[in-house]
Structure 1
Amino acid sequence: MNKLNRIYKSYLILFSIVLSFSSCVTKQEVVYFQNAKDFETMVDTDTFEAKLKIGDIVSIYISTLNPALAQPYNIIMETGAAGEAVNYIIDIDGNIDYPVLGKIKLVGLTTEEAKELFKKKFKEGNLLKDPVVIIRILNYRITVAGAVNSPGVYPIENERVTILEALGMAGDLTIKGKRENVMVIRDQNGTKTVSRIDLTSKEVFNSPVFYLTQNDYVYVEPNNSAVSGASGDSRISTIITITSFLLTTALIFVTRN
């Protein structure tokens, strides 16, 4: 019986070691903002505003005290019983083709700057007096992929989103997401840039990609635990199978003797 107990204890120890190697993630790998101090104040001095890009889809609505005067600028496309406002795509040259005003270059402008540009053109042409200009980016969305709980494409209604909010929309990182090396891929009028951000440091708030722009792609890389786990699952299974075989063989031997 003593031999049996020793064999049983040895099996439990070996099995525990195998399990510990299969789920090895340290606290330093998963905790956010580790160097932030208690009651530390960080003032957000970023005055981020989304800038219009090539390929953006924008809605433009003009309002005046006399609706009839603004009607030529608010084109309605007949789509059945109810009409639908025409939207505009910023072309490869950064322009839209707008009624009456013709080509207008919008690329690189914020929506507020674009509004002022329209007002200036209406005033210069003596077309409208004190118009209200409303401009919205209709394709403002971000994609979150990789080691997150709910990867996908997320529309942004207020045209302003941080990487922390985006990751929150995606259900946060999984336990096996690499927090110190999150990648942001940004397309700026045909030029793609790749930036990396460290969520374990408070310096995340000073990153140039802390605020995301339309169509940014956020990728969370799996950490070493996930990579080794994926390739090592079969090895762990094999070890457990062999251990079970050896234990069974030992039990048979002890029983017979």
Structure 2
Amino acid sequence: MIRKKIELSTYLVLVVIGLVVTSCGSKKDVVYFQDAQDYETIVSDNSHNNTFKIDDVLSINVSTLDAEASLPFNVFKGIQGNGSRPEQLDYIVDKQGNIDFPVLGEVKLLGLTPEETKKMLKEKLQPYLKNPIINIRLVNFTVTILGQVNNPGTYFANGEQITILEAIGLANDLNIKGMRNNVLVIRDFNGTKVYTRIDLTSKDALNSPVYYLTQNDVVYVQPNKSAVTSSTLDNRAGVAISIASLLITTTLILIR
């Protein structure tokens, strides 16, 4: 009788420990583009043209063969002299979507792409300059990666566009506990927040409206089932140890 009670107690201890350490996970939770076949050619028509938003910081440089003629159309910090060129100031898109451009005054950039802005400025500068060259760079093109990634943070994007995969690469990829089929992108359209989810386990992600990120996008990777389960292991372990101790104590009393 006592032996049966000991065996029962041992079985219960093992069951409790098993419940604590057991967690589920599968290949489907961590593999990207699972439905892409070998040698499959995917032609994506997902085009992206970045447009300027309120509070964007832009570097705009105007140049011509006649450097003196183009000088009034560039704003510099300090005074040029002694053969040195002072630092050029950036432009900030105000709440009305405008920048204050030298000589031209207020110029509306809100919603324009860099190429559209170049074309528009060239037209406006034709009365003053011959064949002006316009260079535009978005200074504040950053994306923020949060959640279950190896290095969360805010990252600067080089160039005029960045994909969500490239952004995740900057954060050294999702960790094993990141939910790859339900990644959230938070995008700001001049004060209006838009929330869009993308499934990185499917090749259809290439056609998602958030596959190409825009400036100041926030990417949040939420925890998967494994992460949620492991977050409660400490509490479960404490309960399991208490139950196991009680069962062992009870068994020892029965043996006597």
TM-score, normalization by structure 1: 0.87
Distance 2:63 2:109 in 1: 20
Equivalent runs, 1:238-253 vs 2, <5 Å: 238-247=239-248, 250=251
**Residue 228 of structure 1, CA deviation:** 3.4
Distance 2:130 2:39 in 1: 51
Equivalent runs, 1:19-38 vs 2, <5 Å: 19-20=21-22, 23-38=23-38
Distance 1:135 1:204 in 2: 30
Q: Which residue of 2 aligns with 1:205?
A: 206
* Cα-to-partner distance string for 1:93-120 (whole Å, 9 max, x where unaligned): 1110100011111111111111111111
Q: Which residue of 1 aligns with 2:90?
A: 87
The residue type paired with residue 157 of structure 2 is: I
Distance 2:28 2:228 in 1: 18
Corresponding residue SS for 1:153: strand
Q: Does 1:231 align with 2:196?
A: no
**Residue 64 of structure 1, CA deviation:** 0.7
TM-aligned CA distance change 1:252 to 1:159, over 3 Å:
farther
Distance 2:79 2:164 in 1: 38
Corresponding residue SS for 1:133: strand
Equivalent runs, 1:181-220 vs 2, <5 Å: 181-220=182-221
Corresponding residue SS for 1:104: strand
Match for residue 15 of structure 1 among 3, 14, 17? 17
Number of equivalenced pairs: 250
The residue type paired with residue 181 of structure 2 is: E
Q: Which residue of 1 aligns with 2:162?
A: 161
Q: Which residue of 1 aligns with 2:223?
A: 222
Q: Which residue of 1 aligns with 2:140?
A: 139
The residue type paired with residue 144 of structure 1 is: I
Distance 1:36 1:52 in 2: 34
Distance 2:253 2:160 in 1: 70
Distance 1:251 1:199 in 2: 54
Q: Root-mean-square deviation (CA), in Å? A: 2.5
Q: Which residue of 2 aligns with 1:120?
A: 123
The residue type paired with residue 152 of structure 1 is: G
Distance 2:181 2:164 in 1: 13
TM-aligned CA distance change 1:168 to 1:9, over 3 Å:
farther
Distance 1:63 1:103 in 2: 20
> Which deviates more, 188-197 or 226-235?
226-235
Distance 2:171 2:20 in 1: 32
Distance 1:79 1:121 in 2: 26
Q: Does 1:150 align with 2:129?
A: no
* Cα-to-partner distance string for 1:182-216 (whole Å, 9 max, x where unaligned): 11111112221110111111111110100000000
Gaps of 5+ in 1: none
Does the CA-based 8 Å contact 1:54-1:90 persist in structure 2? yes
TM-score, normalization by structure 2: 0.88
The residue type paired with residue 112 of structure 1 is: E
Equivalent runs, 1:102-117 vs 2, <5 Å: 102-117=105-120
> Which deviates more, 231-240 or 153-162?
231-240
Identity %: 49
Does the CA-based 8 Å contact 1:178-1:220 persist in structure 2? yes
Corresponding residue SS for 1:71: helix
Distance 1:247 1:39 in 2: 59
